Amino acid sequence: MSEEHPFAPYVRILARGKTKSRPFTIEEAEAAMSMILAGEVEPEQLGAFLMLLRFKEETAEEIAGFVRAARAKFDLPPTIPKVDLDWSSYAGKRRQLPWYLLSALVLAQNGVRVIMHGTEGHTAGRVYLRDTMEALGLPVSGTFADAASALDRDGFAYLPLEVLSPVLRDIINLRPVLGLRSPVHTVSRLLNPFSAPHVLQGIFHRGFQETHQIAAELLGYQNVAVFRGDGGEIERRPNKPTEVFTSAGGVRGIDIWPTLVGDPVQPEDEDMDIARLARIWRGEEQDDYADGAVAGTLAIALKLIGRAASIAAADTAARALWDGRDKARMGLAA
């Protein structure tokens, strides 16, 4: 009889039936993901592992363990750049353009150092951040060192997932094969590559807010805001109240942000013309929904980083920053 594969016990923990299966401890999750990232598992094992986790739904401890393993593999530069805010983008947009990019650029224009990271292409029919940035002529970092330089130069950088972890990118790209998202979508959002003290999180499925809160706390992230944004991205929907789950120094809370536009029905952009982002930035086109999405998302970020003490103050400050942006450039150095 052949010897059991070293990864087999991790599949068995998840698959022993209703009474004997159990979640991983944080240490087990870290060890399992370390093996995956090192290429030490068989394709059959990986598929079973991902779908068993998907079926039972991942716990905060499992997510934190997976993130620990991924972060341990980062090819970080010798000097870690100063970052104020970590902003992930993994879902893509389907009904509206990624207005949240303009929110991040306003922050960078006002001295907030923002690192964004994400991936693209895993789900058809969506507009992804990397494609958007390239279409607008904004730089995409090819290495951690490139991102560090961009942060020092512009106060803003975007790192694709294949730079953070090629293996995680490959796993996300299994979605069309497996037919379902895997826990890697959640793991990637929490990577926080430069250990920013403030972390924004966007989710798509209801009920995952608390999982993100707890996982972030287990990872030692001190200031976190999680909400169900448009399409699963970090973007406040201005036509609806927004429930934001927060964690500050281990103290959890929930903020209810008000609607910003009168029509409760979200308009659907049939063209998804990326060039509109530039036109809105320059003030050449007016769109109340876009205007509310940009300022509203900016407000949540301002409150998270401590530049506003209340929801009302954050909305007021965000409006002032958005209205006062330098329209001649999109937040980056000329």
Residues 6+ apart with CB under 8 A from 60: 210, 211, 212, 213, 214, 215, 218
> Which is the CATH superfamily of the domain at 8-72?
Transferase, Pyrimidine Nucleoside Phosphorylase; Chain C (1.20.970.10)
Q: What's the confidence (pLDDT) of residue 182?
A: 85
Reply yes or no on domain 85-323 having CATH 3.40.1030.10.
yes
Angle at 118 between CA 305 and CA 255, to 5 degrees: 35
- pLDDT value at position 332? 61
pLDDT at 334 (0 to 100): 39
Task: Give the pLDDT score at 264.
Answer: 80
- For the chain, the structural domain boundaries read 8-72, 85-323
- Is there a contact between 130 and 158 (Cβ–Cβ < 8 Å)? yes
| Predicted pLDDT at 331 | 60
What single DSSP character describes residue 81? P
Helix or strand (DSSP H, E) at 160: strand 156-160
Strand order in the sheet with 251-257: 156-160, 114-118, 85-89, 198-203, 223-228, 242-248, 251-257
CA–CA separation, 283 and 155 (whole Å): 23
For residue 312, count other CB atoms closer than 10 A to its CB: 11
216: left (phi over 0), alpha (psi -120 to 50) or beta: alpha
Counting as low any pLDDT under 70, the low residues of the chain are 1, 331-334
